[in-house]
Structure 1
Amino acid sequence: MAVTAQEALRITSVLEQELDRRQASITLWNDIYKGSQNLGFASERFKAAFGGLFKGFSDNWSEVVCDAPAERLCPVGFRFGTGDEKDPPAADKDAQRIWQSSNMDAWARVAHTECSVKSRSFVLVWAEDPDADQVEPEITVEDATQCIVAYEPGSRRKRKAALKRFDGDDGFEYSTLYLRDELWKWRRTRSPSGLHLPSSLSLSRWEPRGDRPDQQRIDNPLKRVPMVELRNRPRLTDDPTPEHKQVIPLQIGTTKLIADLLTASEAGAFPARWGTGIDLPKDPLTGQEIDDPELWRLAVNKMLRASNKDAKFGNFEAADLSNFVAGVNLLTEHISALSRTPPTYFMGKIQNVSADALTAAEAGLASKCGIKTTFLGEDWEEVMRLAFLVRGDEKRGLNPLAETIWRDVEYRTEAQHIDAILKKKALGVPWRQLMEDAGYTPTQIDRMERMLEADAERAATALAFKPPGGEDFTGVPDGAVDAGAGDEVLVP
């Protein structure tokens, strides 16, 4: 149902306020991921002594925690079934073409990483030229600091509205409100400082983006909000959370301990030397002892000498840094356990670890990624439905029996993988399913299938070929007549 410009502005304002509320958390999570956080546990004495010496230092494990699941989530195709087909549906070639034309092989990985870091990412489906003869959908990944999706009351699936807000390079800030039946486009003057201000503090108000009415309101032929929200670790009533939220305090503590270790190595890791009963040289004019620091700067080509026979030399014990190492190891073990990231991701080297132990260590991450494919698969299926609606294909655009095809989230050696495939083949698993389990994309499987058909045709041609004076594939000599079993074969 169409709304008035005043109602559209009201919806824009409500969504913008919620988007402003999220900015601080998203910025913090992103800074932690990039390793640009402060030393949160540093004391005032530490700050007074070292100032900004360790300002840019970070022993960043949050990036590992976020990237570990994101790098295993790889959609490779889509299926659309009818529920009553005799043959199982194959990967949809039109969906693959749409996916490839929007470069989603690469950008889907970005969407998963952004979702893992910022708790949300967004995917917009629209047509670059909706008036073209052949409308092609364009799928773009959007940032959580710029977009928000609102749902119907009591629903986490039915999208009611969406907003995208972004800065232009012409001194204006732009926004687009997406509703089921229409789109509203706005702009306003940016703050003089160039910084984004919350909507409640902005001195300017949204106004129509262009001079013509058709530049402000656009009909939405999809009859659906064309923006889909990808949520990390979705909950029923709570907001989604980033992958590294629960380990942020441990991450800051690890950075602090590493900084302390470096400080201790500078101050006390080298054994301090001492000397007693040493006669210092005296000034001939004043008779005062001369305490020249250069006398005590030891080097490879220097030695200490004392005229007093009772002089003694020695050194203090160096600071023991193993306590810091133990603390860092403890925190990284907790980060690994809480995030279900395999301990091998935190080790610089691996020794005496069996293949079964490595598989067991990755079981938690593989299970977590499997759960993520369930939720994210539903979101990508909705994205592909919207893409077909853009093309005017309602059969697939409204099909609830869509399925996302994922690459295997579990890492195995090639020998283990192929051995498992051969055992599945012995159980009678069809060839195409075996190829999917082997990790090939639908495009690669189609190509291999055509290659197998071509090989079979060449083999049949080779068997049917009869060289001059030779025998054909039936085994009957040239010029002979096969009279059947038990009959005499006559050769003229």
Structure 2
Amino acid sequence: MALDLDPEAWLKRLIQAHDQELPELKLMDAYYEGTQPLSYMAPEIQVELSDRMRQVVINWPQLVVDALDERLDIEGFRYAKSGPTADDLWEIWQANNLDEGSQQAHVDALALKRAYAIVGSNDEDEATPVITAESALEVYAERDPRTRQEIAAVKRWEEPAAAGAMPVQNAMLYLPDMRVQFEKQKGAWVEVDRDEHGLGQLLVVTLANRPRLRHADGTSELRSVIPLSDAACKIATDMMVGAEYYIMPRRWATGVSRDDFADENGNPLGAISSLAGRMWLNESTEVKFGQFPEAQLTAFHDTLNQLARLVSSLTGLPPSFLGLATDQPPSADAIRASEARLVKRAERRQRAFGEGWERVMRLALLVRDGSLDPKARSLETAWRDAATPTFAQKADAVTKLHASGILPTEQAWEDLGYSAEQRDRMRAMQDEALTRMTAADLHALSTAPPTTPGAPASGADGGTGAASVPQWSAASADG
């Protein structure tokens, strides 16, 4: 079993495995950034057009990833069996700027199959462990084939060196009981630091996108979109070439030569006049002029629209996201219906990523406390609703459920999208309002004139005497 390897052997094993998949990860990253190479065009044409050929990038891969990522917002954590919220975990989350870090991790996981989160101790504040989101381009983890849990991981990075020197290559090896830092010196990895924490847990968590039974490390959302995106970029590039050669009018003339086209000083016309005019010449004896009919680009438009429909069917994106708009604006119900698949896909990602972030926060508790509280096993991730109802619709539904007693106040606040900090402030405001009401009732009781037994209370006969004290207030005070 590979668990018996020493740190240096582990390092070489993980680096070799990571290097094997780096070309694929870099290609996926290029597609997300829109810097992929041009496909489906003959090399001879590319050579002939040379630097005049620029690819028109229709970046559907980025659209597919961002449309899902925009619906993956974490709003807090809660212990399912012991209270509404996990405020201590949310403080750790905020201290590590994971509102932004989690979004970056989700983008990388959707595009590159997976991202990682690494947990470590904080030398400046022991109560706040350090949590960082990491890219699959720099981190790789190996899983135990029996348990499917990570058993070792490596992170590689380069640090700038002095002027003229090569960057310094570093690697951090993570094992269940230790963390070992290496530096590459004269072509060999040399251990420079070791931290034996003895926690018995690998402090690296994989955030895999669409993991499968045989591919636990995930699948990229771009896999099914890349061929269609390549085709769309090719068609769009051809359309621009066609616009230059066939859309602008092409004129012809007979009985003239190229030397006849000059300005008043005898200088030949510039390249723009020659190229834009596209004059075809024939040096015959009879002078004639004419114009060829320009071409239409509707075939390119129809092809692009068909490719966009295929992307919509494969990814669940609403047609409007891909520019397939209709003449009649859709109704609100039609918009929600068109987003049904996208919403469901986002909810599936919330379930998978949520499990990963729960493991991250359990590791943070383990690093902070040295042991894991049993209640952390019931930790849950609170996500923002992936659907897009209007706030008025949601508020109306939540208010009705709360008024009927089905929904507690805390859950109503959470369903309305209030953050953990906002809910804390609202609780404090409720307590303050209740304290003021109680103080007002007690003050009214203490300042009210005494009443004679059997006599009506002051003001009961409609007079304008001192304000009467409700009987329930007195009873409440006695109770």
Matched, 1:293 2:261: yes
Give the whole-Å Cα distance in 1 for the aligned partners of 2:239 and 2:416: 46
Cα 1:44–1:208 change in 2 (3 A) is closer
* Structure 2 counterpart of 1:59: 58
* Structure 2 counterpart of 1:107: 101
Out of 343, 346, 371, the position equivalent to 2:348 is: 371
* Structure 1 counterpart of 2:419: 441
Aligned partners of 1:480 and 1:490 also within 8 Å: no
SS of the aligned residue for 1:145 comes to coil
Counterpart amino acid of residue 337 in structure 1: S
Q: How many residues align?
A: 433
Matched, 1:8 2:7: yes
Counterpart amino acid of residue 114 in structure 2: R
Give the whole-Å Cα distance in 2 for the aligned partners of 1:159 and 1:240: 14
Aligned partners of 1:78 and 1:405 also within 8 Å: yes
Aligned partners of 1:341 and 1:362 also within 8 Å: yes
How high is the TM-score relative to the length of structure 1? Answer: 0.80
* Structure 1 counterpart of 2:387: 410
Give the whole-Å Cα distance in 1 for the aligned partners of 2:262 and 2:330: 53
SS of the aligned residue for 2:115 comes to strand
* Structure 1 counterpart of 2:36: 37
Ranges of 4+ aligned residues in structure 1 off by more than 4 Å: 294-298, 310-314, 348-351, 459-466, 487-492
Out of 312, 315, 318, the position equivalent to 1:339 is: 315
* Structure 2 counterpart of 1:50: 49
* Structure 2 counterpart of 1:481: 451
Aligned partners of 1:77 and 1:405 also within 8 Å: yes
Aligned partners of 2:156 and 2:171 also within 8 Å: yes
Gaps of 5+ in 2: 162-166, 264-268, 275-285, 460-464, 466-479
Aligned partners of 2:55 and 2:237 also within 8 Å: no
Greater mean deviation of Cα atoms: 40-49 or 357-366: 40-49
Aligned partners of 1:80 and 1:396 also within 8 Å: no
* Structure 2 counterpart of 1:389: 366
Matched, 1:182 2:170: no
Counterpart amino acid of residue 451 in structure 2: V
Equivalence map 1:76-87=2 (5 Å): 76-82=75-81
* Structure 2 counterpart of 1:126: 120
Aligned partners of 2:56 and 2:236 also within 8 Å: no
Out of 140, 143, 146, the position equivalent to 1:151 is: 143
Matched, 1:326 2:302: yes
Q: Give per-residue Cα distances to partners, 1:102-143, cap 9 Å, x unaligned.
A: 1111111011011111111110000132xx784430001111
Matched, 1:142 2:138: no
* Structure 1 counterpart of 2:283: none
Q: Give per-residue Cα distances to partners, 1:247-303, cap 9 Å, x unaligned.
A: 101101111111111111111112323467xx76xxxxxxxx8861359979xxxxx
Aligned partners of 2:176 and 2:201 also within 8 Å: yes
Equivalence map 1:163-174=2 (5 Å): 163-170=154-161, 171-174=167-170
SS of the aligned residue for 1:37 comes to coil
Give the whole-Å Cα distance in 2 for the aligned partners of 1:403 and 1:316: 69
Gaps of 5+ in 1: 191-203, 210-214, 281-288, 299-309, 467-471
Aligned partners of 1:483 and 1:489 also within 8 Å: no
Out of 192, 200, 225, the position equivalent to 1:247 is: 225
Greater mean deviation of Cα atoms: 440-449 or 223-232: 440-449
Counterpart amino acid of residue 146 in structure 2: G
Cα 1:127–1:46 change in 2 (3 A) is same
Give the whole-Å Cα distance in 2 for the aligned partners of 1:294 and 1:420: 77
Out of 180, 190, 199, the position equivalent to 1:207 is: 190
Out of 333, 351, 356, the position equivalent to 1:356 is: 333
1:8: how far off?
A: 1.6
Matched, 1:263 2:241: yes
Give the whole-Å Cα distance in 2 for the aligned partners of 1:273 and 1:237: 62
Cα 1:348–1:386 change in 2 (3 A) is same
How high is the TM-score relative to the length of structure 2? Answer: 0.82
1:416: how far off?
A: 2.3
Counterpart amino acid of residue 89 in structure 2: A
Fraction of identical pairs, as percent: 31
* Structure 2 counterpart of 1:226: 203
Cα 1:249–1:489 change in 2 (3 A) is closer
Q: Considering only aligned residues, what root-mean-square deviation do their CA atoms show, in Å?
A: 3.1
Aligned partners of 2:199 and 2:370 also within 8 Å: no
Cα 1:397–1:27 change in 2 (3 A) is farther
Aligned partners of 1:98 and 1:137 also within 8 Å: yes
Cα 1:425–1:489 change in 2 (3 A) is closer
SS of the aligned residue for 2:147 comes to coil
Cα 1:162–1:314 change in 2 (3 A) is same
Aligned partners of 1:151 and 1:160 also within 8 Å: yes
Higher helix share: 2
Cα 1:275–1:395 change in 2 (3 A) is closer
SS of the aligned residue for 2:75 comes to strand
SS of the aligned residue for 1:245 comes to coil
Aligned partners of 1:124 and 1:226 also within 8 Å: yes
Aligned partners of 1:222 and 1:386 also within 8 Å: no
Give the whole-Å Cα distance in 2 for the aligned partners of 1:229 and 1:116: 13
SS of the aligned residue for 2:224 comes to helix
Counterpart amino acid of residue 318 in structure 2: P
Give the whole-Å Cα distance in 1 for the aligned partners of 2:421 and 2:308: 41
Aligned partners of 2:79 and 2:378 also within 8 Å: yes
